Amino acid sequence: MSKSYEDEQAKLKREAETLTKAMDQQEQKADAVERFITQAHRYVGLEELTPYALHELVKAIYIDAPDESSGKRQQSIHISYDFVGLIPIHELMQEEMA
């Protein structure tokens, strides 16, 4: 009986450590999003994207190789934002449509 109790305690301890790590990661992500939002608020109402604003908000821009398999040239662009990373374009478009 003592062995099963010790095994259960060890299992619960591992689960608690895993959950603590997950919570820490979520808190870090939430902090990063908050920093990005704070930074982005400075540019609300911006009518033209300036190099300074771009530098403040965007970490990197990735451009895929062109795809002409459909007969039309298509090229994907991925933008990695400062603090929050890549945000899929369909997620950004959903917010705009709402």
Q: What is the DSSP string of 37-95?
A: HHHHHTTTT-SS--HHHHHHHEEEEEEPPPB-TTSS-B--EEEEETTTEE--HHHHHHH
What is the tally of structural domains in the chain? 1
- Its pTM surpasses 0.75: no
**Per-residue pLDDT tens over the stretch 38-78:** 888 888 888 888 888 888 888 898 898 988 888 889 888 88
How many Å apart are CA 56 and CA 1, to the nearest integer? Answer: 60
Domain range spanning residue 17?
2-97
